[in-house]
Amino acid sequence: MNRDEQIEVLAASLALAQENRRPLDEAEALVPVADYVDPARFERELERVFRRALNLVTLSSQVADPGAFVTAEVVGAPTLIARGEDGRLRAFLNVCRHRGATVELRPHGRCRRFVCPYHGWTYDNDGRLHRVRHPEGFPTLQAEAHGLVELPCTEAAGLVFVCPTPGITPEPLPQALIEELEGMLGPRPTAFAATARTWKANWKLIVEGSVESYHFRVAHKDTIAPFFTDTQSTHERIGHHIRSVLPKRSITSLADVPRDQWHLRDHTHVVYSLHPNAMILLQRSHFDLIRMQPLAADATHIEILTVGQAPDAGEPSAAARAFLEKNHAISVRTLDEDFVLGEQIQRGLHTSANTHFRFGRFEGALTDWHRQIDALLK
Ligand code: FES
Ligand SMILES: [Fe+2]
């Protein structure tokens, strides 16, 4: 978002707050409850939505230097992401080409060559098969065709995205989104704190909690609700991705401030829903990154990272660490309020109380998002 766009968004939010209006779409929308419980639909979502897309996996700062690597599950696929000696970041299926053992078991580290823990085949960190122990046993093996299987991998705005299906060309991230995130996320986003657990809720319930503000006043009454206006968020699509802007109550103070002194992050909370598996919540000087892994129709693994800027040189100060750790605890507490609701909703889905959920005219971001997902499943 350039400066003019930020001023425009602030002016629109200020007008809503001053006039006590809510942005309204044309109509309500109904979404079948079966969409959240049907295992066949869930499999289709994995296949058509997640396995064909670039999924956000980690931060570039986790794999900053040649030789650095991380391992991760990406939509069920064991994945190894490694920075080669040439500085290029590559992603591979973390599966040995001999008999399929997981090649690298550590969550992260540095390594020039990966050694399979089963029979010791070794792979360079650019994926090439380097050495086979007792090669006379494999007279027909073509080493050059048996490197680790590479996956589509993109780095943008300090974030690392991987598509878990080899050989396909996933839709690239829109250039406009990359430029906007580069501006918003800063030059060296670095994780200061992390929390992860599995929630017994469909992944769509998790996304839904992040793209409407109708629930804020009620669900977050004990945490952040007092800082925000009621049901006045706006949203915009950027390709398959969504940017939502939630105005804070302090936005009304801008009425007396010249526009060149307006700052978006002082008076709003900006949320990016990054298709298909992540959300970024921009705080004033840092951000929270939420990464989802759909495990089953009724289970989602969620990782919350609180991300700040690493200094130009040396380690972050103790004060910076303490500030972000404190903010991490607040974010986790607030987000848990959403995830607990997700679990409660999931528990009631089988009761036949509802055949459909009803999205109101100020929940239009959800309606639009469901249409997109349904279109991908056709
Ligand atoms: S399975 Fe990896 S060396 Fe045998
Ligand atoms: Fe929420």
- Report pLDDT digits (tens) over 291-346: 999 999 999 999 999 999 988 888 889 999 999 999 999 999 999 999 999 999 99
Q: How far is the CA of 123 from the centre of ligand 1 (A)?
A: 11
Provide the terminal-to-terminal Cα distance of the chain, rounded to the nearest Å.
Answer: 32
Looking at domain 55-162, its CATH superfamily turns out to be: Rieske [2Fe-2S] iron-sulphur domain (2.102.10.10)
Q: Which pLDDT does position 350 carry in this prediction?
A: 93
Q: How far is the CA of 85 from the centre of ligand 2 (A)?
A: 42
Q: Which pLDDT does position 26 carry in this prediction?
A: 82
Q: Which pLDDT does position 364 carry in this prediction?
A: 85
102, 118, 131: residue to mutate for ligand 1 pocket, most atoms within 8 A of CB = 118
- pLDDT at position 212 over 90: no
96, 114, 130: residue to mutate for ligand 1 pocket, most atoms within 8 A of CB = 96
CATH topology for the 3-53+174-377 domain: Naphthalene 1,2-dioxygenase Alpha Subunit; Chain A, domain 1 (3.90.380)
Q: How far is the CA of 98 from the centre of ligand 1 (A)?
A: 5
Q: Which pLDDT does position 25 carry in this prediction?
A: 85
Confidence of residue 169 (pLDDT cuts 50, 70, 90): very high
Ligand nearest the Cα of residue 103 is 1
pLDDT cut 70: percent of the chain above it: 100
Q: Which pLDDT does position 176 carry in this prediction?
A: 95
* Contact (Cβ atoms closer than 8 angstroms) between residue 62 and residue 68: yes
Confidence of residue 359 (pLDDT cuts 50, 70, 90): very high
Q: The whole model's pTM is what?
A: 0.96
Residue nearest to atom 4 of ligand 1 (CA): 119
Lowest mean pLDDT segment, chosen from 4-8, 36-40, 70-74, 290-294 = 4-8
Residue nearest to atom 3 of ligand 1 (CA): 119
Q: Which residues surround ligand 2, an ion (CB under 5 A)?
A: 209, 338
Ligand nearest the Cα of residue 146 is 1
Name every protein residue with a CB atom under 6 angstroms from any ligand 1 atom: 96, 98-101, 116, 118-121
Q: How far is the CA of 215 from the centre of ligand 2 (A)?
A: 7
- Report pLDDT digits (tens) over 103-159: 999 999 999 999 999 999 999 999 999 999 999 999 999 999 999 999 999 999 999
**CA dist., res. 286 & res. 185, Å (int):** 8
Residue nearest to atom 1 of ligand 1 (CA): 99
Q: How far is the CA of 164 from the centre of ligand 1 (A)?
A: 21
- pLDDT at position 273 over 90: yes
Cβ burial of 187 (10 Å; 0-12, 13-18, 19+) is exposed
Q: Which pLDDT does position 246 carry in this prediction?
A: 93
- pLDDT at position 280 over 90: yes
- Report pLDDT digits (tens) over 41-85: 999 999 999 999 999 999 999 999 999 999 999 999 999 999 999
Dihedral angle, C-alpha 303, 307, 310, 315, nearest 10 °: -60
Q: Which pLDDT does position 1 carry in this prediction?
A: 84
Residue spans in the chain of domains classed CATH 3.90.380.10: 3-53+174-377
Residue spans in the chain of domains classed CATH 2.102.10.10: 55-162
**Mean pLDDT taken over the chain:** 95
Q: Write a three-state SS string for 25-70.
A: CCCCEEEEHHHHCCHHHHHHHHHHHHCCCCEEEEEHHHHCCCCEEE
Q: How far is the CA of 145 from the centre of ligand 1 (A)?
A: 16
Atom of ligand 1 nearest to the CA of 116: 2
- pLDDT at position 195 over 90: yes
- pLDDT at position 170 over 90: yes
